[in-house]
Amino acid sequence: MHRISVVIPVYQGEHTLGPLVSDLAAFFSQSVTPSGEHFQVEEVILVHDGAIDRSHEVIQALATKYTAVKPVWLSRNFGQHPATLAGIASTVGTWVITMDEDGQNRAEDIASLLDMALSTGAQLVYGNPLNPPPHGLMRNMLSGLTKRIFTHILGNKHIGKFSSFRLIEGEVARSLAAYCGSGVFLDVALSWVVKEAAHCPVVSCAERAHRSGYTFGSLVGHFWRLLVTSGTRPLRFISFLGLLSLLLSIALTVYALWVKMTIQMPIAGWASTIIVSCFFFGATLLSLSIVAEYLAIALSIVMGKPPYLIVSHPTAGKRK
């Protein structure tokens, strides 16, 4: 039987945690997935991330009512991803589910995510909403753009589009939580150690009781953290621009000399200005990008990127 640990970071959960845990309670005893796999939600880790409402009272009441509910108290608000990592570090299940506190994710979809993981052999499965998320049009568009940048521009095609509703193999999740440094975007960290992610169709529900606590400024900060922790690909783009500028300066020099020597056409003074500007602009960008590459290596060490991760079974092929 597959033992499931559910991790929920809590920031505004006063009115939403009760119904959510009640939905999860249906799986506290042995259950069966649509494909016939036996599983049980063994624990629900509620991470109190410096909540701004009376979530602490709700968490204490739920822990009294359900033995499977386990509170984790953080000293202050650290943010969704650090809180999720703190919860993951406290799990014991063979699989870890991460989900939001606002009721967007359905408890019954856990079974579908588990089936997808077992049928594909994936260590990481994302819930892929079939319907648009219950946010404003602008936020949905920006969220979709961010995920495309993460997948195609930052080079994380093996992960694909991410979401906060995830199923992660337990030992991988706990090892990652032990390695990760402060400020690391969780899905970037998962891309370090997971060979390939699977995606399972799910239904996204309307938020219960309150709107999202993310402001425009916090979403921008979220995106910036994703960008700066995603590796060196943006730096290599700068290197490419610098190299292109150097090649352009060389090509313009050759062309100017050819015109001067063969056609005997006088060269205007602006041509040499452009050549010199392109040369030094390219040399500066190339030099900065080389320095930035060294800094990126140091940053990966500071962020806790592991050189390897040992697991108890082979990751290639499908699991039966």
String of DSSP letters for 245-268: HHHHHHHHHHHHHHIIIII-PPPP
Q: How far, in whole angstroms, is CA 312 from its chain's centroid?
A: 24
Structure tokens at 224: 């910036």
* Residue with token string 């020099």: 253
* Residue with token string 């991803």: 81
Same domain membership, residue 272 and residue 185: no
Same domain membership, residue 213 and residue 173: yes
Quick check: 197 and 124 in contact, CB under 8 A? Answer: yes
> What is the structure's pLDDT at 95?
97
**Strand partners of residue 125:** 167, 198
Q: Please check whether residue 267 lies inside any domain of the structure.
A: yes
DSSP 150: I
**Strand partners of residue 158:** none
Dist CA 146 CA 90 (whole Å): 30
**CATH number of the structural domain spanning residue 140:** 3.90.550.10
Same domain membership, residue 152 and residue 254: no
User: Count of domains in the chain?
Assistant: 2
> What is the structure's pLDDT at 320?
41
Q: Please check whether residue 227 lies inside any domain of the structure.
A: no
For residue 269, give its domain range. 233-303
Domain boundary among 219, 241, 275: 219
What are the mean pLDDT values of the chain's consecutive 10-residue runs (320 residues total)? Answer: 95 92 95 95 95 92 96 90 91 95 91 95 91 62 64 67 90 88 78 88 74 57 62 67 80 77 66 74 74 66 63 57
Same domain membership, residue 253 and residue 215: no
> What is the structure's pLDDT at 284?
78
Domain boundary among 152, 186, 219: 219
Same domain membership, residue 245 and residue 202: no
Domain boundary among 165, 185, 219: 219
Dist CA 185 CA 225 (whole Å): 6
Q: Please check whether residue 308 lies inside any domain of the structure.
A: no
C-alpha to C-alpha distances, 231 to 185, 237, 238, 252, nearest whole angstrom: 11, 12, 13, 34
Same domain membership, residue 175 and residue 67: yes
> What is the structure's pLDDT at 225?
63
Half-sphere exposure of 213 (CA within 13 A, CB side): 16
> What is the structure's pLDDT at 91?
96
**Strand partners of residue 166:** 98, 126
Same domain membership, residue 133 and residue 101: yes
Q: Is 31 helix (H, G, I), strand (E, B) or coil?
A: strand
C-alpha to C-alpha distances, 179 to 58, 73, 111, 154, 246, nearest whole angstrom: 31, 21, 29, 22, 40
Q: Please check whether residue 105 lies inside any domain of the structure.
A: yes
E-strand stretches of the chain:
2-10, 31-32, 38-48, 69-73, 95-98, 124-129, 166-169, 197-202
